[in-house]
Amino acid sequence: MKFGIIVFPGSNCDHDCYHVIKHVFGQPVEYVWHKSDTLDGFDCIVLPGGFSYGDYLRTGAIARFSPVMEAVVKFAEAGGIVIGICNGFQVLTEVGLLPGVLMRNKELKFICETVSLSVDNTSTRFTSEYKGEETVSIPIAHADGSYYADAETIKELEDSSRVLFRYATPEGVATKEVNPNGSVNNIAGIMNAGGNVMGMMPHPERACESELGSTDGRGLFESLINSLVAG
């Protein structure tokens, strides 16, 4: 099994993802420069956080036209597993692999803090290891993380249990008070209908080693690795 981490000009969490996959989980991983037009040999593609192309115009808007994104779309359409973290989530919505859009935070500020999340569906390849441990602490670091989609799309996401993570109290209740950025229904992470593409604003790769304050991000990578081993 091999992970590929897409590197756009302006990505800045690519090394964190590489470190965690290689040194914490001992899995093969390679960087993929945004000019690459093939993803042959990879089993899982990670779009990391950062400020691709300076986030000019809209977050993720220019990155989605990188040559590699055509390959990412083909990879996903063929059932390949793709995860987008933070800026990676924004790119996935811009390219249309995930619905909705990430807008400016309601308080207009860049927020960098550890938040509580509820894991709302633990029957997915991204979250299976969270079974029995349905609230986690994972950091966020973004200015544009307010998830928005029209009412019909939100209903479809909710009805099909495709909201995987939600900003919540430590007890797992999604209240207005703990919604850091104004996301509709406190949405922090979603997956596509096919169950192979996932995007989330929080940074699980920053919560995989106890030295960094939390190991709650490990479940995501463990779930993924287990699903890939199981084929």
Partner 1 sequence: MKAKVYVTLKEGVLDPQGSAVMGALKSMRFSEVSDVRIGKFMELELDADSKESEERRVTDMCEKLLANTVIENYRIEFE
Question: Residue 153 CB, nearest distance to partner 1 (Å)?
Answer: 9
110 sits near partner 1 (criterion: CB under 8 A): no
Cα–Cα nearest to 89, from 73, 74, 101, 71: 101
| 162 vs 177: CA distance, rounded Å | 23
62 sits near partner 1 (criterion: CB under 8 A): yes
Question: Residue 186 CB, nearest distance to partner 1 (Å)?
Answer: 15
Inter-residue long-range contacts of 151-159, CB under 8 Å, 24+ positions, other chains counted: 153/99, 153/100, 154/184, 154/185, 156/99, 157/99, 157/187, 157/190, 158/185
Q: How many residues bind partner 1 (CB under 8 A)?
A: 20
Question: Please, which residue, 128 or 179, has the CB nearer to partner 1?
Answer: 179
Cα–Cα nearest to 113, from 84, 142, 135: 142
Which residue among 150, 160, 161, 226 contacts partner 1 (CB under 8 A)?
A: 150
Q: Which stretch binds partner 1 (CB under 8 A): 6-14, 21-29, 58-66, 158-166?
A: 58-66
| 149 vs 157: CA distance, rounded Å | 10
From residue 24, give the alpha-carbon distance in Å to each of 53, 183, 217.
Answer: 29, 31, 12
Catalytic residue among 13, 17, 86, 208: 86
Q: Which stretch binds partner 1 (CB under 8 A): 26-34, 81-89, 106-114, 134-142?
A: 106-114
| 73 vs 68: CA distance, rounded Å | 9
Question: Residue 121 CB, nearest distance to partner 1 (Å)?
Answer: 23
* 205 among known catalytic residues: yes
Which residue among 30, 37, 107, 133 contacts partner 1 (CB under 8 A)?
A: 107
104 sits near partner 1 (criterion: CB under 8 A): yes
Catalytic residue among 13, 94, 129, 203: 203
Which residue among 26, 40, 41, 108 contacts partner 1 (CB under 8 A)?
A: 108
Question: Residue 94 CB, nearest distance to partner 1 (Å)?
Answer: 7
Residues that bind partner 1 (CB under 8 A): 57-58, 61-62, 65, 93-94, 100-101, 103-108, 146, 148-150, 182
Residues taking part in catalysis: 86, 203, 205
